[in-house]
Amino acid sequence: MSEIVRKRIRISGVVQGVWFRASAREKALEHGVSGWVRNLGNGDVEAVLEGPEADVDAVVAWSRSGPPRARVESVEVQQETPEGLSGFSVR
């Protein structure tokens, strides 16, 4: 059984208006990762991801390029304590 981890990521660049949130939700569900994703007022996207470490890491790796129209400049990753989230929402 894989250890459950929680990571908060902040993605900067051209990441709003390019289907980043919807694509992140699809990728998370594909990997069985729970959490949420939202746009921030400064143009960044923030997401919280919970699940088996390898699956969370796969979604983090995907976020470094994002959907085709995105132009990711940076991804900040913070480890947090898992809260037992279920499902994945776009906020």
Catalytic, out of 6, 8, 38, 39: 39
- Given the residues 10, 21, 25, 64, the one annotated as active site: 21
Catalytic-residue membership of 21: yes
Cα 4 from Cα 51, distance rounded (Å): 5
**42 catalytic per annotation:** no
Token pair, residue 35, equals: 């959490």
Phi then psi for residue 62, to 5 deg, are -60, -40
Question: What positions carry a catalytic annotation?
Answer: 21, 39
